[in-house]
Structure 1
Amino acid sequence: MNYEGTKFSKSRGIGVFGDDAMKSGIHSNVWRFYLLYRRPETQDSAFVWDDFVLVNNCELLNNLGNFVNRALVFVSRFFDGKIPSMEDLQSNDVEFLAQVNHLIESYISHLEACRLREGLRDVLAIARLGNGYLQASQPWVTVKSEETKSRAGVVVGVAANVACVLGLLLYPYMPSIGQQIWHEQCNVPMTALSLLPLLRQDCRLPQLLARGHTIGKPTPLFCKIDTIEASRLSKLFSGGRSEDRKSPLNEPGD
């Protein structure tokens, strides 16, 4: 992997190394994610700060984090924190779940072939489908009427289950984030991790959150990276004396 069009060089202060990443103010999960997202599997790749910011803000914050947070917040806000009934699936629910199952199968195939980057992109594709599913179903609208509230419940229940499984799929890539999703926010026991081998066998979405299950407190998973701060870091790590590479003021997230 190259750095901003040139080679990494510890002696010349070019590039971000382990100790620099720790001092950058950017959470280790984000570094881990980006390096896997841009992992050179068939050809060389490069670390570019503009791309780093774009991937964090679009894929982690607006896609993955947004879907998980929306799905669980809807459970908390509209259904008192309890998973509603998911009976009476409609055709769009079935189609959504079929697409998710297909991506789980693809994810497993990619991991078995050590194509980690592609497996991670399957996870992001599931989140993207989830956002589209919520946007098309609009449970925040249907929940307002007693006649359609049960329909909102189906959508929210399905979305919450997909969000929970995303936590398991993320675990090999971002262990603390995966655990935060399924264990802390979805309130599923740590033993759920034992389902990962079963996913390999079944290649389909397990129902981890049954009707009446009480979830934990939904909280945002990721933070936006400011382009001004990224520009400052880009200059900081583009070459210079080690004493000039000072730690930023903002601290890493939890």
Structure 2
Amino acid sequence: GKIIYVWGEAFLGYISSAAQWSRREGEAWEPYWDDGAVHFIGKDIIYHHSIFWPSLLLGYGCQLPRTIVAGEYLSLEGLKMSTSKNWVIWASEFMEKFDYNLLRYYLVANAPLTRDTDFSWDDFQRRVNDELADVLGNFLHRTFSFTHRFYGGEIPEPKNWNDTDQALEQQLKELPGKVSRHVEKYQFREGLREIIGLAKAGNKYFNDHEPWKAVKSDPQDAATCLYLCNQAAKTMAILLLPYLPGKAQDIIKILNLDDEKFSWNDAAQFLPAGHKLAPATPLFPKIDDEIIEKEKETLYENLEEKKVMDIISIEDFARLDLRVGKIIGAESVKGSENLLKLMVDLKDKQIQVVAGLAKKYQPAEIINQKVIVLVNLKPAKLFGIKSEGMVLATQDSLNLLNPGNAEVGEEIK
């Protein structure tokens, strides 16, 4: 039941783009193409990319990809994205308002390759403010500003090292290997977590040593603290290059290393004492609530503007298996502000439904409540949880449709 011709044309487009690059750069495309390529695709085209595409490559004499990595689906505010309904975030419009590095961070931090995930404006704001601004940005800003304030912008000479100094040194020296192992296994989120973990450790280390006090009471300890914090900043800058290339370059410029060429192995190499920093500015400003609310309003307005009445026949309606059900179990879905996992009794069977009702109902509120359920809906996964039907509710107020005193399992006509 597969239509092949379009995929033949689409795959040839890959070769054409490589040839176009070759003409522009004046280099042969075959060595680049054959150099251990990894194909990243969406899970809905695994069939085509793992059968048709390798067959075409073999027929043309090209090297097969080293591996094919399939990502899961990305929804938007709990709903399937739709370009026709404008229920989508366009990357070009996003980058007019936000730094592209923020989107790269959010998608990697929030979207493992092994399960479906959701883009939420509220969660995007939380991750930027809590993780990038308060953790990574805070550590970098304090490190650079204190180095300028107390040491004239030069990395100080470390003195006596205690156990906490040695622990941080060991953590940052081990970090490149840890991140590398995750990346090699395509565990990009886990690798990013390791980097943010060093920033969290750096903040704790900074707070414990209190260099703003120690610079007077214990100058040696303050010098060692700022020395190691600058080394951690350099380590994170290099390791962040594949994740947040723009922001990583900003950190490198503040470290006065923008003319250097770095390899991954350079990440844990320490800068010498006396190295001069460039002037520093905050790298990750927080996103205000008003900005996020405006984006959400625009998104929902676009959806309303694109609504078109679809006319269906009585035969189409008759295909819908609507029944009265009773919610016998409910719990929140970890990582989502919108979804509840429900267990619904239909008399002859029980089904699991993932419903976008969390902003209206607490799980305990809807236990034993009768609802109307669309039973013959194709199963889907939301946040990695299988949903076998749909509980009917009003769109804006999220009020559940009440079947009154109808019996559980009764069909809706």
State the TM-score bracket (shorter-chain normalisation). Answer: 0.7 to 0.9
- Structure 2 counterpart of 1:153: 223
Task: Rate the CA distance shift 1:151–1:40 in 2: closer, same or farther, 3 A.
Answer: closer
Letter in 1 for 2:157: S
Q: State the distance in 2 between where 1:156 and 1:100 align.
A: 14
Question: Aligned to 2:205, which of 116, 133, 143?
Answer: 133
The alignment yields a C-alpha RMSD, in angstroms, of: 1.6
Q: Does 1:116 align with 2:188?
A: yes
Q: State the distance in 2 between where 1:64 and 1:30 align.
A: 13
Cα displacement (A) at 1:175: 0.9
* Contact residue 168 and residue 193 of structure 1 kept, 8 A: yes
- Structure 1 counterpart of 2:139: 67
Q: Does 1:228 align with 2:300?
A: no
* Contact residue 103 and residue 125 of structure 1 kept, 8 A: no
Alpha-carbon deviations, 1:100-123, whole Å to 9, x = none?
Answer: 334433211101111111111111
Question: Aligned to 1:104, which of 147, 169, 176?
Answer: 176
The TM-score with structure 1 as length reference comes to 0.86
- Structure 2 counterpart of 1:143: 215
Q: How high is the sequence identity, in percent, across the aligned residues? A: 31
Q: Does 1:205 align with 2:268?
A: yes
Q: State the distance in 1 between where 2:133 and 2:305 align.
A: 33
* Contact residue 85 and residue 153 of structure 1 kept, 8 A: yes
- Structure 2 counterpart of 1:22: 95
Alpha-carbon deviations, 1:115-149, whole Å to 9, x = none?
Answer: 1111111111110000000001111101023xx11
SS in 1 for 2:216: coil
Which stretches of structure 1, 4 residues or longer, exceed 3 Å deviation after superposition?
A: 101-104
SS in 2 for 1:43: coil
Q: Does 1:168 align with 2:248?
A: no
Q: Does 1:178 align with 2:248?
A: yes
Q: State the distance in 2 between where 1:19 and 1:170 align.
A: 23
- Structure 2 counterpart of 1:87: 159
Q: State the distance in 2 between where 1:222 and 1:189 align.
A: 19
Cα displacement (A) at 1:72: 1.1
Q: State the distance in 2 between where 1:22 and 1:219 align.
A: 21
Q: State the distance in 2 between where 1:137 and 1:22 align.
A: 39
SS in 2 for 1:237: helix
Letter in 2 for 1:44: D
SS in 2 for 1:191: coil
Q: State the distance in 1 between where 2:221 and 2:199 align.
A: 21
Name whichever structure is richer in strand by fraction. Answer: 2
Q: Does 1:6 align with 2:79?
A: yes
Question: Aligned to 2:104, which of 19, 26, 32?
Answer: 32
Q: State the distance in 2 between where 1:81 and 1:116 align.
A: 34
- Structure 1 counterpart of 2:113: 41
Name whichever structure is richer in helix by fraction. Answer: 1
Does 1 or 2 have the higher relative contact order (CA < 8 Å, sep 6+)?
1
Q: State the distance in 2 between where 1:22 and 1:137 align.
A: 39
Structure 2 gap ranges (5+): 1-73, 307-413
* Contact residue 104 and residue 122 of structure 1 kept, 8 A: no
Task: Rate the CA distance shift 1:192–1:92 in 2: closer, same or farther, 3 A.
Answer: farther
- Structure 1 counterpart of 2:373: none
* Contact residue 235 and residue 268 of structure 2 kept, 8 A: yes
